Structure 1
């Protein structure tokens, strides 16, 4: 009798384990990359780049964790427990969708990709660690993405496809979305932070356009240095470092 019990228990565990593997494989056709250097999120499916979104990340570089994580829960209209604001309330800073991440030993309760009730914050470094999206765009992502989908968060000078390959993902084609930079460093502008900005500051300084320091923060002085460089090289003077400005700089 005891032997039959343990045999049944083992078979039950094996069945449960096999179901877990299938679930993981189902999510394996999708993955997400978040690049804090440009504050953009790229969504891939079946090895193909599908779409890119503008996001907001941590006020300080250390706030939004970097590494490989998974989406471990999906919540519609999550309450903002800290202030006692119910889900779906216009005052709720978590927006209408929550994709929880298993970052830094948490299980989708602390760090997440979520909406926000302040659209003007998107694209900036303003959060306490989460990744904010526009409500309508996180709805689009939420409807498609599965639990256990991998999420890579990094600060990189590389294009999304390059980041994907470096993390072991096979990708085909190119980043064809018009809002996604096709250069290796992407578009840099006022408010960006990271190693790509530091490379820009070093390049500008070496060419005689002082950024008043090399700190990896695209602030006022870096913006002014970019504008002076653009004016001297007959480029559009907008302070935005896109493909034309990067080419004129000789790369970053």
Structure 2
């Protein structure tokens, strides 16, 4: 009975951390460009963030095509090396986003963290896509099971790669992920805060959260530059700030 209960608890634990997070809509997808070793994350059909990654040591190691995320695991053990999940020696890092590539089901190929940050941006893996641990943790919190993932080697824009694979990116100005306003969060908000601060309009911190202080700084900048004073950072304000 004790052995049965122990097995049941272990099975429940694995289910908890590998369970599907719900079907993703087509407005959320990922593109990995092996030519640049970059991962582009789209949310609401708009380019949200671009991260440096590591891909296969040889071109054939990281499969190309259209796949999907089929499981999400926190602190996946490194079975072949007998290293438990969460161990600093674990080369898989702290998050695993499994892909259904080459007939596998999230067990062989994945977007994951790593314990060698110097490898990011290079061709270093046995086929997986490596990210910095803090960045894959952020991505893990965003994407859902069934999120489409396109892996390609291309000189085209991310929007072009998306369109060629049946995905529909929003038609926004280049390098724009949409309007920023009170309540917005993310790396582009950090860029906005940094830019405003450098121009003498303090946001009282660079934390990636568009709060009241950032709103106040935006309005002051808009007023000083004869822009519409609404606190919304759209194409006109971004262009004046040099963010487009």
Q: Answer whether contact 1:71 1:102 (CA < 8 A) is retained.
A: yes
In the TM superposition, what is the alpha-carbon distance from 1:36 to its structure 2 partner? 0.1
In the TM superposition, what is the alpha-carbon distance from 1:50 to its structure 2 partner? 0.3
- Residue of structure 2 in register with 1:79 after alignment: 77
Structure-1 separation of matches of 2:110 and 2:30: 13
- Residue of structure 1 in register with 2:36 after alignment: 38
In the TM superposition, what is the alpha-carbon distance from 1:176 to its structure 2 partner? 3.4
Q: Answer whether contact 1:64 1:128 (CA < 8 A) is retained.
A: yes
TM-score, normalised by the number of residues in structure 1: 0.60
- Residue of structure 1 in register with 2:11 after alignment: none
Deviations 1:147-198 (A, max 9, x none): 0000000000101111111112221213337x9xxxxxxxxxxxxxxxxxxx
- Residue of structure 1 in register with 2:155 after alignment: 157
Match for residue 126 of structure 2 among 125, 128, 131 = 128
Structure-1 separation of matches of 2:133 and 2:101: 22
Unaligned runs of 5+ in 1: 1-22, 180-252
3-state DSSP of counterpart to 2:41: strand
- Residue of structure 1 in register with 2:112 after alignment: 114
Deviations 1:72-117 (A, max 9, x none): 0000000000010000000000000000000000000000000000
Structure-1 separation of matches of 2:96 and 2:89: 15
| Pairwise CA RMSD | 1.6
In the TM superposition, what is the alpha-carbon distance from 1:28 to its structure 2 partner? 2.5
Structure-2 separation of matches of 1:61 and 1:175: 28
Q: What stretches of structure 1 move > 6 A for 4+ residues in a row?
A: none
Unaligned runs of 5+ in 2: 1-21, 178-186, 188-244
Structure-1 separation of matches of 2:97 and 2:132: 13
Q: Answer whether contact 1:160 1:175 (CA < 8 A) is retained.
A: no
Larger Rg belongs to: 1
Match for residue 145 of structure 1 among 143, 146, 154 = 143
Would you say 1:176 and 2:195 are equivalent positions? Answer: no
Structure-1 separation of matches of 2:59 and 2:28: 26
3-state DSSP of counterpart to 2:105: coil
The number of equivalent residue pairs is 156
Q: Answer whether contact 2:57 2:124 (CA < 8 A) is retained.
A: yes
Q: Answer whether contact 1:39 1:56 (CA < 8 A) is retained.
A: yes
Give runs of aligned pairs for residues 1-252 of structure 1, distance below 5 A. 23-24=22-23, 26-172=24-170, 173=172, 174-176=174-176
Deviations 1:98-146 (A, max 9, x none): 0000000000000000000000000000100000000000000000100
Structure-2 separation of matches of 1:171 and 1:70: 17
3-state DSSP of counterpart to 2:146: coil
TM-score, normalised by the number of residues in structure 2: 0.62
Structure-1 separation of matches of 2:54 and 2:76: 19
